[in-house]
């Protein structure tokens, strides 16, 4: 398998057909400060409202943001929600070709989220929809739209949410039509459906409960995942099955080949909404661009990990996947962030509602004063980003005999501290440019900077952020240690 960064860089812009149920996702976010006097329920004071395309539309949006050329075919009603879905698709660069059916209610999911200081959690979801089958006029229109779209597609993604569009007869027609053109078809199945309807697809991407329900095999461990995936391949005439295993990552099984475990990395899970759609989008994009199946699944695993760190179904960009891939490896690399990745890193944490804290220094000889200082900085928020002067910068600031420890050694020691979340190296004499890119919520410096003036204070406070000065641990300093070692 090639390095995943190389695979990611070669994805190009394939044309992918997405077929499935269209949903308008609404998010009402606010705070809960009291219980209603009318009933024992929370009162959500709404502060913001956002709308996104859900269902198969989310897959198409993910593809567009990732650089593909998605064509989206689905079914809508003739109502305000349908018009809003159309507007959102156009704004996101998705080529939407939807059949309209009079009397059908476009699916709308409204999620109510209560925000705390760190993130927002769902407290209620309200669904408005029609899930009846498709009428003959709309069915004929859909077949025409699909026939036209299949003529230019390089791969087909089917996203089944059980809203009535993908009835067994229409799905069978689509699978035959795609196979006649030599197009792979990947299906994200609906949990409540009879999986025999997906017979003849190229690949299936069920999650653990879906695989268990469809096969009767308990997927409690990797052996169970192998058994369930094998049964799906045999029963449905698939080329492969990719079973997503939440905290355990994924299990990829190809016909006639050993299974492959794609482990996940420890991460904070805020919301699993959209994770399955992200897997389908990245898997389809990579396969359409010519990547190998294992390469495509590995990229999808990384992207799904990024998705669950966000609240709601939020698109992931290629540069964000590249940044996560660059962090894979040992403890130092797992926390080291390139300067070009800082803005994407900040956006990811900010989307998850986390307060970003920044501080900087040389950290030449790490001592107890440093450790206490960094722990105090971390306590000011949910994420601590530490800027570290490179070797040339330390020499300019401290003199030609410094640093005593090279940059690589300094990063490795800092990375071992649990309170440090990310490390960024900078070569300038001050971290002003880095602070501008990161836009932290809190800027922390030692109390000795009170009279000298804190670099970046104006940038942080202009955004409504805070500057915190931490008292130093008396008698601990790198200069003092150096003098003692040298007998001064």
Stretch 325-334: mean pLDDT: 56
* Residue 269 within a domain: yes
Q: Has residue 324 been placed in a domain?
A: no
**pLDDT value of position 124:** 93
pTM greater than 0.75 (yes/no) = no
Contacts of 351 (CB under 8 A, 6+ apart): 310, 311, 314
Residue 50 backbone dihedrals phi, psi, to 5 degrees: -130, 155
In the prediction, which pLDDT does 331 show? 47
Answer yes or no: do 340 and 394 share one domain.
yes
Options 21, 25, 188, 277, the catalytic residue: 277
The H-or-E segment that residue 360 falls in is: strand 356-361
Provide the pLDDT for residue 79. Answer: 95
CATH number at residue 244: 3.40.1190.20
Q: What pLDDT is stored for residue 265 in this prediction?
A: 61
Rounded Cα gap, residues 232 and 237, in angstroms: 8
Q: How many domains does the chain have?
A: 2
E strand or H helix at 357: strand 356-361
The whole-number pLDDT of residue 484 equals: 64
Question: Could you tell me the pLDDT band of residue 312, with boundaries at 50, 70 and 90?
Answer: low
Higher pLDDT, 68 or 266: 68
Q: Is residue 326 part of a domain?
A: no
Residue 313 pLDDT exceeds 80: no
State the pLDDT at residue 446: 87
Are 292 and 350 members of one domain? no
With residues binned 3-state (H G I as helix, E B as strand, rest as coil), the percentages for the chain, rounded to 5, are 40, 25, 35
Mean pLDDT over 370-384 rounds to 90
Q: How much is the pLDDT for 347?
A: 86
Least confident of 47-56, 69-78, 329-338: 329-338
| pLDDT over 70, % of the chain | 90
55 and 85 part of one domain = yes
Q: How far apart (Å, rounded) are the C-alpha atoms in residues 423 and 386?
A: 5
pLDDT value for 135:
92
CA 146/CA 7 separation, integer angstroms = 30
Q: Which two tokens stand for residue 216?
A: 């009767």
Residue 360 covered by a domain: yes
Question: Are residues 356 and 443 in contact, defined by beta-carbon separation less than 8 angstroms?
Answer: no
Q: Which residue(s) pair with 53 in the sheet?
A: 24
- pLDDT value for 317: 84
Same domain membership, residue 458 and residue 309: no
Catalytic residue check, 277? yes
Which uninterrupted H or E stretch holds 254? strand 250-254
In a domain, 285, yes or no: yes
Average pLDDT of the residues of the chain: 88
Classify the C-alpha dihedral 277-279-284-285 as positive or negative. positive
Highest mean pLDDT: which of 97-101, 301-305, 365-369? 97-101
The pLDDT of 341-347, averaged and rounded, is 86
* Domain finish residue from 259, 294, 318: 318
Q: What is the mean pLDDT of residues 398-425?
A: 87
Q: Pick the last residue of a domain from 267, 295, 318.
A: 318
Cα–Cα distance list, 428 to 97, 413, 435, 456, 457 (Å): 51, 22, 12, 14, 17
Average of per-residue pLDDT across 19-39: 93
- Determine, yes or no, domain membership for 120: yes
* Strand, helix or coil for residue 200: coil
CATH number for 398 = 3.40.50.620
Which position has the higher pLDDT, 117 or 484?
Answer: 484
- On whether residue 224 sits in a domain, the answer given is yes
d(CA 45, CA 28): 9
pLDDT tens-digit map of 128-184: 999 888 999 999 999 999 999 999 999 999 999 999 899 999 999 999 999 999 999
- Residue 393 belongs to some domain of the structure: yes
The Cα–Cα gap between 385 and 358 comes to 5
> What's the rounded Cα separation, in Å, for the pair 154 and 469?
57
Residues 306 and 429 in one domain: no
> 346 is written with which tokens?
């900040």
> How much is the pLDDT for 468?
93
pLDDT at 483: 59
pLDDT surpasses 60 at 385 = yes
Q: Where are the beta strands (DSSP E) in 185-229?
A: 185-188, 203-204
For residue 379, pLDDT over 70 is answered with yes
Q: Walk across the sheet containing 383-389 and list its strands.
A: 422-426, 383-389, 356-361, 442-446, 466-470
| Average pLDDT score over residue span 88-102 | 94
Residue located via tokens 């020499």: 395
Among 132-141, 270-279, 321-330, the range with the most confident prediction by mean pLDDT is: 132-141
The verdict on 218 and 341 lying in the same domain is no
What is the span of the domain harbouring residue 130?
4-318
- Domain C-terminal end among 296, 318, 340: 318
CB 149 within 8 A of CB 178: no
pLDDT tens for each residue of 224-272? 999 999 999 999 999 999 999 887 889 999 998 999 999 876 454 444 5
* Predicted local distance difference test score (pLDDT) of residue 285: 96
Mean pLDDT of the 304-309 span: 74
In angstroms, the Cα distances linking 265 to 161, 281, 305, 325, 327 are: 28, 20, 8, 11, 11
């Amino acid at each position: 398998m090639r390095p995943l960064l190389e695979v990611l860089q070669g994805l190009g812009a394939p044309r992918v057909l997405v077929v499935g149920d269209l949903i308008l996702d609404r998010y009402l976010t606010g705070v809960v400060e009291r219980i209603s006097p009318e009933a024992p329920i929370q009162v959500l004071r709404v502060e913001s409202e956002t709308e996104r395309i859900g269902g198969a539309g989310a897959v198409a949006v993910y593809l567009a943001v990732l650089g593909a050329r998605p064509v989206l075919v689905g079914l809508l009603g003739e109502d305000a929600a349908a018009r809003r879905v159309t507007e959102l698709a156009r704004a996101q660069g998705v080529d939407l070709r939807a059949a309209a059916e009079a009397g059908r209610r476009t699916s709308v999911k409204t999620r109510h989220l209560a925000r705390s200081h760190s993130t927002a959690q769902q407290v209620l979801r309200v669904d408005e929809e029609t899930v009846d089958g498709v009428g003959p006029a709309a069915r004929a229109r859909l077949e025409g739209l699909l026939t036209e779209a299949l003529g230019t597609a390089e791969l087909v993604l089917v996203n089944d949410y059980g809203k009535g569009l993908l009835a067994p007869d229409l799905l069978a027609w689509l699978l035959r039509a795609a196979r006649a053109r030599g197009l792979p078809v990947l299906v994200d199945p609906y949990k409540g459906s009879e999986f025999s309807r997906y017979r003849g697809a190229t690949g299936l991407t069920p999650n653990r409960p879906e695989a268990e329900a469809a096969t009767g095999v308990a997927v409690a461990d990797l052996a169970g995942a192998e058994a369930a995936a094998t049964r799906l391949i045999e029963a449905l005439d698939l080329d492969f099955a990719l079973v997503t295993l939440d905290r355990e990552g994924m299990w990829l099984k190809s016909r006639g080949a050993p299974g492959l475990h794609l482990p996940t990395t420890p991460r904070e899970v805020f919301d699993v909404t959209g994770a399955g759609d992200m897997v389908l989008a990245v898997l389809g994009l990579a396969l359409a661009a010519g990547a190998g199946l294992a390469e495509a699944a590995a990229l999808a695993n990384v992207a799904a990990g990024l998705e669950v760190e966000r609240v709601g179904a939020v698109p992931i960009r290629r540069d964000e996947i590249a940044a996560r891939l660059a962090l894979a490896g040992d403890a130092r690399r797992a926390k080291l962030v390139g300067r070009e990745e800082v803005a994407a890193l900040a956006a990811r944490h900010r989307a998850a509602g986390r307060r970003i804290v920044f501080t900087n220094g040389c950290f030449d000889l790490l001592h107890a004063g440093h450790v206490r200082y960094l722990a105090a900085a971390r306590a000011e928020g949910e994420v601590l980003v530490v800027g570290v002067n490179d070797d040339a910068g330390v020499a300019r600031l401290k003199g030609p005999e410094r640093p005593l420890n090279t940059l690589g050694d300094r990063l490795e020691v800092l990375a071992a501290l649990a309170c440090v979340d990310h490390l960024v190296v900078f070569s300038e004499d001050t971290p002003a440019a880095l602070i501008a890119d990161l836009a932290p919520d809190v800027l922390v410096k030692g109390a000795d900077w009170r009279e000298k003036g804190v670099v970046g204070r104006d940038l942080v406070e202009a955004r409504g952020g805070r500057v915190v000065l931490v008292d130093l641990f008396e008698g601990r300093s790198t200069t003092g240690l150096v003098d003692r070692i040298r007998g001064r």
